[in-house]
Amino acid sequence: MTVKKGLLDVGLKYHWVSFLLVLLIFAGYSLRSVIPYNFELVFFFILITLVYLLFKKKRYKQKWPQELVVWSGFLTAFCAVIVVLNLIYLPLTEVNFHKMQIALLMVGFIALTWLLFLLKPTIDFFWYFLMGASVLMVFRAVLELSSLGGFSLEGLSSMGRLGNALGNPIPFGLFANTLFILMIGGVIWAYKKHPVLLCFWLLLLFLNFLMVILSQTRTAWVGWGEAIIGWGAYYIYLACRHKVLLKLGVGMVFLVAFLGWVNMTIPATKVLKDRASLVFSDMDQYVEGDNPLTSVGLRLSMYGTAVTMIQEKPYLGYGSEGFLDQFKEASQAFFLKEFNLKHDGLQLSHVHNQFLMTWIQYGVLPVILLLFFFIYLIRFFWKGLRLASEEDKPIFIAGLVFMGSMMVAFMVESPLEFATYSAHYWLFTTLLFVFSLLIKTNQKLLDS
């Protein structure tokens, strides 16, 4: 009993420290263009805290779950393969070192995983973090609007892409979208906490939605399908279980009416329609061979070029520096062969597909590790969802929703090639994994 009490006291004492560190990581990359600081330094404090707690707890018996070891093994293996392969390709350049630095971020997230598991915070930690992160995004949006003069309805409708004034609209939209699709599942939690908290939660949810739309970033809309399926099934399940289908129906009517009013005030649907219609028109031009140089056409041309390069070097790839040199030449040959078009070649820092990009640079092994990592996590969240109580189900659904959106995002972008994107995906994957693991661990203790 004394052992458990000592562990609990240590955990409670450092919960606020870990919460602040996690929020600082998010602030570090989401506000980097506004309040720049090196968010990687936060991992230094995480490591210090972890080492201190491990030393402090060494007199206690701690049984580490198998899932925690497997998680750490996957990240360590992927990181090690990327670092070793970059060291193999000589000479070592700034590009190689940059890619190794991004890969080594995973070590920091492994440390964060173990730290949070040691502290064993409650699920409130996760939901409050989403609120804090949303406030940071609203702060960024306010700064954007003030610089664009978009506080009036006229200014809002003619301002262009939100996120462009103080940085890049693509990451801005991606960060807001992640918060949006995850916060949909926290409405019941906020309702149980306090009516005022529920109102604030719904306000942040709506503001995240607007930020995603106004960023006009098609990639940022990834995850909506997964969110509709996952959270829709969850809320229908609750409505049937608690016999409140009528209230849910009335709520949906009010929601549709509210969104209709918003659309009349701020033409969000027009933004969606205009951006989506470009996809179909670009696809038609590419398939017909009229113009492969549209936005979608260039992506498809990238993929075609990538496939031809992979066929030539499938096992070890070209290396980080070798990609930059070879892709231009390979794309020239692709345009000439497929479209009879003489083109100077695509000079790109990355292919807009993480799996293809990883394969081109490092060969098939890290791609296999990445795919197995996705399969493992989807299986982990699905098994947890089936066994979880009604109150705990949202965290597992959030895991499935996020992993689904992450897989789609990896199909259309290369997030792991940039520190900012990479940190974003690893942070949310880490949090969802840790809190799901804590729920499963607590359930096993109760059952025993």
| Structure-token match 């499935």, residue found | 400
Contacts of 8 (CB under 8 A, 6+ apart): none
| Residue 215 CB-density burial (10 A; 0-12 exposed, 13-18 middle, 19+ buried) | buried
C-alpha to C-alpha distance for 137 and 172, rounded to whole angstroms:
8
Q: Are 35 and 69 in contact (CB under 8 A)?
A: no
C-alpha to C-alpha distance for 99 and 2, rounded to whole angstroms:
47
On whether residue 315 sits in a domain, the answer given is: yes
Q: What is the pLDDT of residue 267?
A: 52
The CA-based diameter of the chain, rounded to the nearest angstrom, is 77
Query: At 250, is the pLDDT very low, low, confident or very high (cuts 50, 70, 90)?
Result: low
Q: Which of 8-17, 74-83, 121-130, 218-227 has the lowest mean pLDDT?
A: 8-17
Question: 294-314 pLDDT, tens per residue?
Answer: 767 778 888 889 999 999 999
User: 3-class DSSP state for residue 249?
Assistant: helix
Tell me the C-alpha to C-alpha distance, in Å, between residue 35 and each of 30, 76, 136, 152, 166.
Answer: 9, 31, 11, 26, 10
Q: Hey, how many other C-beta atoms are within 10 angstroms of the C-beta on 71?
A: 25
On whether residue 298 sits in a domain, the answer given is: yes
Summary mean pLDDT of the chain: 83
End-to-end CA distance of the chain: 16
Higher pLDDT, 10 or 118: 118
Q: Hey, how many other C-beta atoms are within 10 angstroms of the C-beta on 359?
A: 25
Query: At 365, is the pLDDT very low, low, confident or very high (cuts 50, 70, 90)?
Result: very high
Question: 367-417 pLDDT, tens per residue?
Answer: 999 999 999 999 999 999 998 888 899 999 999 999 999 998 898 889 999
On whether residue 413 sits in a domain, the answer given is: no
Domain span at 304: 272-361
On whether residue 367 sits in a domain, the answer given is: no
Count CA atoms within 13 Å of residue 148 on its CB side.
25
Q: And the tokens for 442?
A: 């607590």
Question: 197-233 pLDDT, tens per residue?
Answer: 999 999 999 999 888 888 877 776 777 888 888 888 8
DSSP 158: T
Per-residue pLDDT, averaged over 118-137, amounts to 95
Count CA atoms within 13 Å of residue 268 on its CB side.
18
Per-residue pLDDT, averaged over 247-256, amounts to 57
User: For residue 13, how far is the Cα from the chain centroid?
Assistant: 29
Q: What is the pLDDT of residue 12?
A: 62
Domain total in the chain: 1
Q: Positive or negative, the Cα torsion across 49, 55, 58, 63?
A: positive
Q: What is the pLDDT of residue 145?
A: 83
Question: 31-67 pLDDT, tens per residue?
Answer: 988 887 888 899 999 999 898 888 876 645 567 899 9
On whether residue 123 sits in a domain, the answer given is: no
Q: Which of 34-43, 69-78, 80-89 has the lowest mean pLDDT?
A: 34-43
Query: At 263, is the pLDDT very low, low, confident or very high (cuts 50, 70, 90)?
Result: low
Contacts of 357 (CB under 8 A, 6+ apart): 306, 323, 350, 351, 414, 416, 417
Q: And the tokens for 80?
A: 């090690």
| Structure-token match 């602040």, residue found | 20
Q: Which of 222-236, 256-270, 343-357 has the lowest mean pLDDT?
A: 256-270
Per-residue pLDDT, averaged over 159-170, amounts to 78
C-alpha to C-alpha distance for 403 and 222, rounded to whole angstroms:
11
Q: What is the pLDDT of residue 55?
A: 80
On whether residue 317 sits in a domain, the answer given is: yes
On whether residue 400 sits in a domain, the answer given is: no
| Structure-token match 């359930």, residue found | 443
The yes-or-no verdict on residue 352 having pLDDT over 50 is yes
Question: 2-27 pLDDT, tens per residue?
Answer: 444 444 445 566 788 899 999 999 99
Tell me the DSSP string of 337-373. HHH---------S--S-HHHHHHHHH-HHHHHHHHHH
Per-residue pLDDT, averaged over 443-448, amounts to 70
Q: Are 118 and 57 in contact (CB under 8 A)?
A: yes
On whether residue 348 sits in a domain, the answer given is: yes
Most confident range (mean pLDDT) of 92-106, 234-248, 261-275, 290-304 is 92-106
Tell me the C-alpha to C-alpha distance, in Å, between residue 389 and each of 379, 384, 442.
Answer: 18, 10, 12
Of 432, 428, 443, nearest in space to 391 by CA: 443
Q: Are 295 and 289 in contact (CB under 8 A)?
A: no
pTM: 0.87
The angle at the Cα of 380, spanning 408 to 53, to the nearest 5 degrees, equals 110
The yes-or-no verdict on residue 274 having pLDDT over 60 is no
